[in-house]
A and B are shown apart, each in its own frame.
Chain A
Amino acid sequence: MTPTAPAKWGLRTLAFGYLGVLLLAPVAMIFYKTFEHGLGPPIEAMTSPEALHSIQLTLLMVAVAVPLNTVFGVGCALLLVRHKWKGNAVLDGIINLPFAISPIVVGLALFLLYGNDGWFGPTLTEAGVQILFSWPAMVLASIFVSLPFVVRETVPVLQEIGTEQEQAASTLGANAWQTFWRVTLPAIRWGVAYGVVLTTARVLGEFGAVTIVSGRISGETETLPLFVGRAFEQFNEEAAYAGAIVLALLALTTLLLMSIGGRKAKASSGGSLPAAELAVSTSTTKEGS
C-alpha cells in the first residue's frame, strides 16, 4: 500500500522536524555562536599554541589508528567470511566489544593495564617506554574504540560478492595476493571506504577513553575534543565553539575526500554506488544477446 500524498508530506515533515530539533539545531547553534562576532575571534582562538598542538595531536591519532584499523578490519573480515572456523563466533564477539563498553571504561582498563600496578606497566617502565600520559596510550585508546567499524562494514559486502570472482581469478592464474588486490579489494571498496569514514569520525571525536589515559596535559597530551572540553570548563566559550567547528570541518573533509576518491575510482574503473549499479543492470539484462 502506498501512502496518500498528505500522509507522505506528513511523514516527511515529521522526519525533518525530528532531525531539525535533535541534530540540526545544536549544530547550527555552534556555528552561530562561533561566528557571532565575525571570523577574527575563532581564528585567534584556534591559532594559540595549545589549540594548534591539539589539532596536530588529533591528526596523529587519525594517522595511526585509521590505517591500522583498516588493515586489521579488512583482514579480520576476510577471516570471518572466507575462512569458516568454529572460533569465528568468538572472534566476532570480541570485535563487537568496543560497541558494548563505554569509552570511559576503556580508558580505565588501559590505565590499569599500563599503570604501575598493571600487567604491562612495570615491565615497560623498566624498559624506559612511556605509555600512559603520552601519545601511545591515546593511540591505543583510539584504536580500541574505533576498531569494529571497518570489520562491520566490510563483512556484509564480502558476503554479498561471494567467492566466484575470486575463484575465477585463481583459475586464470592469479595467486592469493593478486586476487586480493585485483579482484576482492576493488569489489569491496565501498564497504571499506564507509568503514574508514566511520572510523575516522570516531577517532576524531573520541573523548572518554582518551581523557583517562592522556592525563590531559595542555599543549602536550590534549587532543582537539579535550581542548574543547577544557575550554568549555574554563568558560572560554569562544575557543570551545571554534574547536568544535574545526572538529566538524575535519569530519566533513574526510567525507569529502572519500566521495571524491570514490568518484575518481568510478571514473577510472566504472564501478559505481550499489544503487546506480542496480539501476544499470536491471535496464540492460533484459535484452537478448
Chain B
Amino acid sequence: MGIAVEGARKRFGDFQALDDVSIDVPDGSLTALLGPSGSGKSTLLRAIAGLEELDAGQVVINGQDATETPAQKREVGFVFQHYAAFKHMTVFGNVAFGLKIRKWDKAKTSARVHELLQLVQLDGLAERYPDQLSGGQRQRMALARALAVEPQVLLLDEPFGALDAKVRKDLRTWLRRLHDEMHVTTIFVTHDQEEAMDVAEQLVVMNEGRVEQSGSADDLYDHPANEFVMSFVGEVNRLGEHFVRPHDMQVVLEPDERTEEAMVQRIVALGFEIRIEFVLADGTEVWAQLTRAELQKLELREGQIVYLRPGQAKSFSGDSSPPDGGGASTPRDSQGGDDAEVSAAA
C-alpha cells in the first residue's frame, strides 16, 4: 500500500529530469522529497499525480498500477506552489469543484465544503474570491479543494514556497497536525531541509534526477550516505577529505597533536547562536557554531589565533567510515583535557 515508484525515467530534451528513480512511501506516512532545484523532485511528484508522463518506470498507488491512468482518474489531491486557484470562482466554488464534477447533490456538497473550510480555518470566507485572500489563505483553500474529493494520496509541490517566512512556519506546523488527523498518505516537495525535517517522517533526498538517500531526519543527519546528503541536510565544513558540521568544531586555546591552528576572522552573533568564521594556515575558510555562553567563556576576538579540533569528521572517499585520527587535521578522538576546551556538540 502507499505509493511506490519503480525505475522512473523522464527526459526533457537534453535534460535528464529523472534517472532511474525508485521510492517507497508507506501508507499514511508524510514524506518529503528534498533536493535543490533541477533535482527532479517536482517532476517525480507530477509523475505520481499523472501530470507528467514517464519515459519508463512504474507508479503504483495503493497497490494498483497507475502508470497509464490519466490524472483525472488517479484520485490524487495536488497542491501547487502558486495555488492554481480558480480565480473566477469563490472560495466555496473552488472547494466544491471536485464535488460538482462528481455530481454530488447541493446539500451534501455544501455540507462537505463547509466542513473542509472549517478544517482549514476559512469558514466565513466562503463567498470571497481568491484575489481577496492572502497567500496563506489561498494555499489553505487549495488544500481544502484537494482534500474535498477524499483523495487516496495528497501531493504538495513546494506548497509554502511562495509564502513569507512567518506564514510558512505557521502553515507547516498546521500541515503536520492536519496530517495527524487525516492520515492520508502525503508527499511534499521542498528545497528547504529545515522544512522537510520539521514536517516529514521520512525524507527522500534527490539530486540530478537520482535518489541520493532516504530515511528519517536523524538517519540523514547522522549517517549521510555521501557528501551531497551531508551538505544538503545541514551545514558542513570541508577539511581536505573530511567533512565536519560547524557544531562539531571544537575551539580550544591551547594546541595539542589533534588540533589545527586557525585565526578568528569574524564573529557573527545570530541571537542564541554564534557563528565564528576562521581561516586556517593553508587559507581554508571554515566556521564553527557556538552558543553565546561558550563564546563568553572563550573570550574570543577577531584576529586572535586559536586551535580547532574537528570532532565527528566524516569521509566519503572509498569507505564511508570516519577517519582514524591519523591525520593531525582530522583527529577522530577528542578527549583533550584542556580546561579551555569547549564543544558545541550535543
Seen from chain A, the residues whose Cβ lies within 8 Å of a Cβ on chain B are 164-165, 167-175, 178, 182-183, 186-187, 269-271, 277, 280-281, 284-289
Mark the stretch among B73-81, B250-258, B326-334 that contacts chain A.
B73-81
Q: Given the known inter-chain contacts A167-B78, A170-B72, A280-B132, please indicate yes or no for A288 contacting B166, CB distance below 8 A.
A: yes
Whether the Cβ atoms of A172 and B97 lie closer than 8 Å is yes
New contact pairs (19) apart from A175-B72, A280-B131, CB-CB < 8 Å = A164-B82, A164-B84, A165-B86, A165-B87, A167-B84, A168-B86, A173-B73, A173-B75, A269-B88, A270-B89, A271-B88, A277-B131, A284-B131, A284-B133, A284-B134, A285-B134, A285-B135, A288-B167, A289-B171
Q: How far is the CB of A181 from chain B (nearest CB, A)?
A: 11
With both beta carbons as reference points, the residue of chain B lying nearest to A189 in the complex is identified as B88
Q: A172-B145, A269-B89, A288-B166 are in contact. Are A165 and B131 (CB under 8 A)?
A: no
Known: A170-B70, A171-B71. A289 touches B134 (CB 8 A): yes
Q: Check A281–B86 contact: CB distance below 8 A.
A: no
Q: When the two chains form their complex, are residues B87 and A271 in contact, meaning their CB atoms are under 8 A apart?
A: yes
Q: Given the complex, which residues of B lie within 8 Å of A169, measured CB to CB?
A: 86, 97
A173 to B131, CA, bound (A): 24
Q: How far is the CB of B159 from chain A (nearest CB, A)?
A: 13
23 contacts between A and B (CB under 8 A): A165-B85, A167-B71, A168-B80, A168-B86, A168-B142, A171-B50, A171-B146, A172-B97, A172-B149, A173-B72, A173-B73, A173-B101, A173-B102, A174-B97, A174-B101, A175-B72, A269-B89, A270-B90, A284-B132, A285-B134, A289-B133, A289-B137, A289-B140
The contact of B134 among A186, A277, A288, by CB within 8 Å, is A288
In chain B between 57 and 109, which residues have their CB closer than 8 angstroms to a CB of chain A? Answer: 70-78, 80, 82, 84-90, 97-98, 101-102
Instruction: Using A171-B76, A187-B88 as known contacts, say yes or no to A182 and B140 having CB atoms under 8 A apart.
Output: no
B221 sits at the interface (CB 8 A): no
B98 touching A172, Cβ below 8 Å: yes
Using C-beta atoms within 8 Å of the partner chain, give the interface range for chain B: 35 or more
Report which B residues bind A (CB closer than 8 A). 49-51, 70-78, 80, 82, 84-90, 97-98, 101-102, 129, 131-137, 140, 142, 145-146, 149, 164, 166-167, 170-171
Which residue of B is nearest A172, CB measured? Answer: B98
Q: Which residues of A contact B51 (CB under 8 A)?
A: 167, 170-171
A287's partner among B88, B134, B149, B170 (CB-CB below 8 A) is B134
Cβ-neighbour of A171 out of B78, B82, B86 (below 8 A):
B78
- A63 CB, min distance to chain B CBs, angstroms: 28
* Dominant secondary structure at the A interface: helix
Scoring B88, B134, B137, B142 by chain A CB atoms within 10 A of each residue's CB, the highest score goes to: B88
* Most chain B CB atoms below 10 A, which of A175, A183, A271, A288: A288
Which residues of A sit under 8 angstroms from B76, Cβ to Cβ? Answer: 171
B157 CB → nearest A CB, Å? 10
Closest to A279 in B: B131
Docked complex Cα distance between A287 and B163 (Å): 11
A178 to B103, CA, bound (A): 12
- CB-based contact A289/B170 at 8 Å: yes
For the complex, give the distance between the alpha carbons of A171 and B142 in Å.
12
Are A289 and B145 touching (Cβ within 8 A)?
Answer: no
Separation of A61 and B283 alpha carbons in the complex (Å): 82
Bound CA–CA A174/B74 (angstroms): 11
**Complex Cα spacing A206 to B87, Å:** 37
Separation of A284 and B130 alpha carbons in the complex (Å): 10
Complex contact A168–B78 (CB within 8 A)? yes
A21 to B96, CA, bound (A): 55
Q: Which 5 A-B pairs have the closest CB atoms?
A: A289-B136, A172-B98, A164-B84, A168-B84, A171-B78
Q: A178-B101, A288-B136 are in contact. Are A165 and B166 (CB under 8 A)?
A: no
In-complex Cβ contact of B129 among A170, A182, A270 (8 A): A270
Which residues of chain A are near B73, meaning CB under 8 Å?
A: 173
Kindly provide the distance from the CB of A208 to the nearest chain B CB, expressed in whole angstroms: 39
Whole-angstrom distance between the alpha carbons of A288 and B166 in the complex? Answer: 8
Q: Within the complex, which residue of A173, A183, A187 is in contact with B98, where a contact is CB–CB below 8 Å?
A: A173
What is the bound-complex CA distance between A269 and B133, given in angstroms? 16
B70 and chain A: residue at smallest CB distance: A170
Bound CA–CA A170/B98 (angstroms) = 9
In the bound assembly, the distance between CA atoms of A285 and B135 in angstroms comes to: 6
Residues of A within 8 A of B136 (CB): 288-289
